[in-house]
Amino acid sequence: MHMADALLSPAVGATFWAGTLGTIGYASKKLKDHLDDWKIPLMGVVGAFIFASQMVNFTIPGTGSSGHLGGGMILAVLLGPHAAFLVMASVLTVQSLFFADGGLLALGCNIWNLGIYPCFVAYPLVYKPLAGDGRSPQRILLASLASGIVGLQMGAFSVVLQTLLSGKSALPFTTFLLVMQPIHLAIGIVEGLITAGVVNFVRAVRPEILDNSAASVPPASGFSLRNVLIGFVALAAVTGGALSWFASSHPDGLEWSIGKVTGKAELPAQDHGLPGALKSVQEKTAFLPGYGFKPPTNEPKAKEDAPSWPAVDAGTSVSGLIGGGLVLVAVFAIGWVIRAFRRNRSA
């Protein structure tokens, strides 16, 4: 559900950029008071895993569409809403800047749609009441399904609303809405099942993480994250390095919905004004566009063959590994800055 710049007007893109930056500031301020040292490496490795997981689209049977994990609920359950939002912002920024996945003008909207709703709406209002103390696998499954569906439905509706506010007449509000919501309901069910699996894995290995995900009191002495960190690093490496070859070749839910309404998977790019300037910036920063190596500029364009499956490709594997590493670095940098502010304040 990564929006392209062509779906937005500069005014709407800038408005959601402002809202997203304000929320980043709010989340950072909240974390200054209770960001424990043990949580920073967990933020980094879970963020790397979410980056890799978003590379793996799964087919929605009978539709010709596909979806991918959003990951906001996994982050919120394991890290608490404020840390989760900052990690999601890091993942989407790395994707946009270095892999051209989602436009730069649309980055504020993408962070809003994939971060705000799961972290600050679905998690506190749906997941927590249903999961209770977080010790029952059955309640975790129910909570994950319900919150995953709610979060994605809100995100999908937000995309439709943002295109309406942008004046995109090619995507009539009612028609676009009636296509977007059902396909993202199916994707939300898969999201919920994956979330339940990941949360139950952590519950089995280190239930203290769930007990302290949003708490200001650190776990008891002797608490070790070693096995959890190793597990997420391994999952991120395998998912980004190899499972990404098995991603569905069908368009994702947003592209599929646009295609159903307009007949094409995307709207024409805007090459002038602010969108054109941001597109030029992205072309310079994205060293692995589309999660693959850039083709040589002096070679003639090769004839496109039918996509193979699995799509074994070194560029995809390198993208998954480097992208996960970049997210890890970005999250550690955020943690370092927050701790530095806290030290200066207490000095």
Distances (CA, A) of 17 to 88, 128, 264: 15, 29, 27
Top-level CATH class of 5-212+224-292+313-346? Answer: mainly alpha
Q: Express each pLDDT in 94-110 by its tens digit.
A: 999 999 999 999 999 99
Would you say residue 246 has pLDDT above 90?
yes
Mean pLDDT of the chain, nearest integer: 91
Nearest Cα residue to 60 out of 242, 248, 240, 192: 248
Q: CA neighbours within 13 Å on the CB side: how many for 167?
A: 4
pLDDT of residue 216: 46
Query: What sign has the CA pseudo-torsion 269, 53, 92, 172?
Result: positive
Q: Which whole number is the average pLDDT over 213-237?
A: 75
How many whole angstroms separate alpha carbon 287 and alpha carbon 302?
20
Q: Are 2 and 102 in contact (CB under 8 A)?
A: yes
Q: Is residue 50 within 8 Å of residue 69, measured between CB atoms? A: yes
In this predicted model, what pLDDT tens digit does every residue of 154-180 receive, in sequence order?
999 999 999 999 999 999 999 999 999
Element (H, E) at 60: strand 58-60
Mean pLDDT to the nearest integer, 305-326: 87
For residues 247 and 240, give the distance between their C-alpha atoms in angstroms, rounded to a whole number. Answer: 11
Counting every residue written for the chain, the total comes to 347
pLDDT confidence of residue 347: 58
The neighbouring-strand residues paired with 252 are 66
% the chain with pLDDT above 90: 77
Q: Is 303 exposed, middle or buried (0-12, 13-18, 19+ CB in 10 A)?
A: exposed
pLDDT for 10 beyond 50:
yes
pLDDT class of 223 with cuts at 50, 70, 90 = low
What are the tens digits of pLDDT across the range 27-36? Answer: 999 998 778 7
Boundaries of every domain in the chain: 5-212+224-292+313-346
**Which alpha helices (DSSP H) does the chain contain, by range?**
10-34, 39-53, 72-79, 81-99, 107-111, 117, 128-131, 137-165, 173-205, 207-212, 226-241, 253-262, 273-285, 314-346
Residue 123 CB-density burial (10 A; 0-12 exposed, 13-18 middle, 19+ buried): buried
The pLDDT of residue 207 is: 86
Residue 67: φ, ψ to 5°: -145, 170
Mind listing the pLDDT tens digit for each residue in 131-140? 998 889 999 9
CB 76 within 8 A of CB 86: no
Q: Would you call 161 exposed, middle or buried from its count of C-beta atoms within 10 A (0-12, 13-18, 19+)?
A: middle
What value does the mean pLDDT take over residues 182-189? Answer: 97
Q: Which residue has the higher pLDDT, 117 or 271?
A: 117
Distance from chain centroid for Cα 252: 14
Instruction: Give me the pLDDT at residue 303, please.
Output: 56
pLDDT tens per residue, range 187-214: 999 999 999 999 999 998 888 888 766 4
- Residue in the block written with tokens 């009978």: 62
Task: State the number of CA atoms in the 13 A half-sphere of 284 facing the CB.
Answer: 5
Q: What are 206's strand-pairing partners?
A: none
The two three-digit tokens of residue 145, written as one number: 């399904």
Q: Which residues contact 206 (CB under 8 A, 6 or more apart)?
A: 223, 225, 227, 228
What was the pLDDT predicted at 320? 96
Distance, in Å, from the CA atom of 61 to the CA atom of 300, rounded to the nearest integer, reads 37
